[in-house]
Amino acid sequence: MTKFSDLKLGPKVQKAIEEAGYETPTPIQAQAIPAALEGRDVLGIAQTGTGKTASFTLPMITHLARGRAKARMPRSLVLAPTRELAAQVAENFDTYAKHVKLTKALLIGGVSFKEQDQLIDKGVDVLIATPGRLLDHFERGKLLLTDVKIMVVDEADRMLDMGFIPDIERIFSLVPFTRQTLFFSATMAPEIERITNTFLSSPHRVEVARQATASETIAQAVLEFKPSRRDRAASEKRRALRELIDREGDKLTNAIVFCNRKTDVDTVSKSLKKYGYDAAPIHGDLDQSQRTRTLDGFRGGELRILVASDVAARGLDVPSVSHVFNFDVPGHAEDYVHRIGRTGRAGREGKAITICQPSDEKNLEDVERLLGKPIPRVELEAHAEAPAKNEEEAGTPKPERRSSRRRSKEVEPANVAEPAQDVEPVKQADAEPAANAPAKDEKPKPQRGRGSRQGGRDNNRDRDVIGMGDHLPSFIEKSFEERLAS
C-alpha cells in the first residue's frame, strides 16, 4: 500500500501531512501526485469527497517552495466555481504550507477590491479565485497572468453548469502556453472534453471511479410524495421533510437539506426554525459574511441543519455530515451525485433521502439511469386528517381569490329583476296608469336598472315627461299647435 512518504513530496510538506494526521493517500492522490511532481498535465476524474484538493495542492507547494513571486504576477493560479470551494482550497494551502514561506491571495466576490489589490501588489505565490472576480481584477489592470507556471481548474463540470466555460477559455488564453495544467472534474461532459483536448498537452488521465457514481458507503432512499390537495402541496411536503428528520432520531447528528430554488431554501429554513429545528439557509444571494458565519457554525457543530442550494453542493468539506435530504430532485442527474457526496466521506457511512413528487419522476428516472440501479423506496405513516389552520407555515401559498366579476358568472344572484321588466310597454302605460305612479308634486326616484343607461334613451323617447317641476322649460309647456302659431 502506497504511503505519503513514498510520493517524493518535499520534506516540509511531508511534515505538515504528518501533523495533519494523514498517512495513506486516497486513490486519486496516489495516482495524480507523482505525475504532477514530474511536471505533466493531469486530467483527474473522480467523485466528490475523494481528496482531489490535496491532489493538486501538495505537488504545487513542493514546486513553489523555491522562488519568489513578483508584484501583481502570481506564480500559480487555482480556479474554483464557488466562493465556498475557493475558501476551502485556501484552507488546504494553509494546512499543508505552514512550514513553507508561500504567500497566497483569495479573490472572491463579497470582499472589497481594495483589500485584494493590496495582497496582489505585494506579490503572491498562489492565487485562488473564482473566474468572474479574477477577470474583474485583470480588466482593471491590477493583475498580470504572464508568470503563471501552474494552473488548476477544479470542479470543471460545475464550471460548465454555471456558465463559466467562456471565462475559463479566456483565462487560458491569458496564461503562458508553457504552463502546467491540472484539470479536475467529477464528470466528463462533451464540452469539458473539448476543453481538455484544446488546452491540455498529453495529460496523465486519472479516473478512480466510474463517472458520476455515488459512494457505496451512502445508504440511499426515495420518498414518493403525493399531496392530498394541490393548494396544500408545499406545506405537506415540508411536513414530510420534518417527519423524515424525526424518524432518523439520534442517528442524525447533522444534515444538509438541498433545494432547487433559492426561494425554497429560505422558505424551508424558516419552516424548520418555526418548528424548533436548528436550521439556517445558504445560497448565492446571501451576503458573503453571512455565508461564512453559517458555514463556520455548521462545520463547528453549532448548527445542526444546513438548508442549501446547489451553490453549496460543491466545496463543502465537512467530514462528519451524517445525512443529506433532497427536498427536490435535482434537474441534472450529476447534481444528485454531488449533493449526496456531502455525506459518507472518507469511508464513513452516510444516508441520503430524496423527496420525489409526481412532477419530479422524470428527473428521478435520469438519476437512477445514471447510477445504474433503482433507489429503494420508503414510506411515511398515513395521516388521518389534513393539517389544522394553526399549523400553516410561512410561505404556504394561499388559494387564489376569485374576482367578483368571475363569481357573478358562476353563481346566479337571487331576486334580480329581468332587464325587460325595467320598462313597461308604451301602450299599457297610456291606457292604464300604474298604481304606484308618483304624485304630481312628488319627485320620482331615478331608475338604476339597465334600461336607465343602455335602453333608456330609446324606450322612453315617446313617454310623458314627469316630475321636472319648476325646472321645466316654458316652451315645453306649450302644445304643438301653440308652438306652430308662435
Higher pLDDT, 295 or 172: 172
In this prediction, residue 311 carries a pLDDT of 67
Examine the pLDDT at 383 and tell me if it is beyond 70: no
Predicted confidence band of residue 50 (pLDDT cuts 50, 70, 90): confident
Examine the pLDDT at 163 and tell me if it is beyond 90: no
153 vs 26, 136, 176, 194, CA distance in Å? 20, 18, 15, 14
The per-residue pLDDT for range 238-273, each reduced to its tens digit, is: 999 999 999 999 999 999 999 998 899 999 999 999
Q: Which three cell numbers stand for residue 193?
A: 472534453
Higher pLDDT, 15 or 402: 15
d(CA 330, CA 326): 8
In this prediction, residue 386 carries a pLDDT of 42
Adjacent-strand bridge partners of 44: 184, 206
Q: Which three cell numbers stand for residue 269?
A: 429554513
Domain ranges of the chain: 4-207, 218-391, 419-485
* 3-state SS class at 372: coil
Q: Which of 291-305, 313-327, 372-386, 445-459 ranks highest by mean pLDDT?
A: 291-305
List phi, psi (to 5°) of 233: -60, -45
Report the CATH superfamily, name and number, of domain 218-391: P-loop containing nucleotide triphosphate hydrolases (3.40.50.300)
Select from 56, 12, 11 the least CA-distant residue to 33. 56
Place of cell 498537452: 201
Burial class for 130, CB neighbours closer than 10 Å (0-12, 13-18, 19+): buried
Q: Which three cell numbers stand for residue 245?
A: 428528520
List phi, psi (to 5°) of 356: -120, 115
The per-residue pLDDT for range 448-468, each reduced to its tens digit, is: 544 444 444 444 444 555 555
The per-residue pLDDT for range 389-437, each reduced to its tens digit, is: 444 444 444 445 444 444 444 444 444 444 444 444 444 444 444 444 4
Predicted confidence band of residue 289 (pLDDT cuts 50, 70, 90): confident
| Helix axes of 52-64 and 11-20: crossing angle, nearest 10 degrees | 150
* 3-state SS class at 451: helix
Do the beta carbons of residue 455 and residue 449 sit within 8 Å? no
d(CA 417, CA 407): 19
In this prediction, residue 46 carries a pLDDT of 80
Separation of CA 428 from chain center: 75
242 vs 80, 264, 279, CA distance in Å? 34, 15, 12
Do the beta carbons of residue 176 and residue 146 sit within 8 Å? yes
For the chain, state the CA radius of gyration: 37
Select from 182, 108, 177, 170 the least CA-distant residue to 148. 177
Select from 396, 335, 355 the least CA-distant residue to 244. 355
Examine the pLDDT at 483 and tell me if it is beyond 60: yes
Length of the chain: 486
Predicted confidence band of residue 58 (pLDDT cuts 50, 70, 90): very high
Higher pLDDT, 325 or 424: 325
What is the rounded average pLDDT for all residues in the chain?
Answer: 81
d(CA 1, CA 45): 21
For CA atoms 123, 127, 133, 139, give the dihedral sign. Answer: positive
When pLDDT is averaged across residues 299-326 and rounded to a whole number, the result is 83
The CATH classification number of 4-207 equals 3.40.50.300
In this prediction, residue 355 carries a pLDDT of 96
pTM comes to: 0.61
When pLDDT is averaged across residues 320-329 and rounded to a whole number, the result is 94
Domain 4-207 and domain 218-391, same fold? Reply is yes
Q: How far apart are the first and last CA of the chain?
A: 130
d(CA 454, CA 143): 76
List phi, psi (to 5°) of 78: -120, 125
Do the beta carbons of residue 294 and residue 306 sit within 8 Å? yes
In this prediction, residue 480 carries a pLDDT of 62
d(CA 74, CA 91): 18
205 vs 45, 52, 160, 192, 197, CA distance in Å? 8, 13, 20, 14, 12
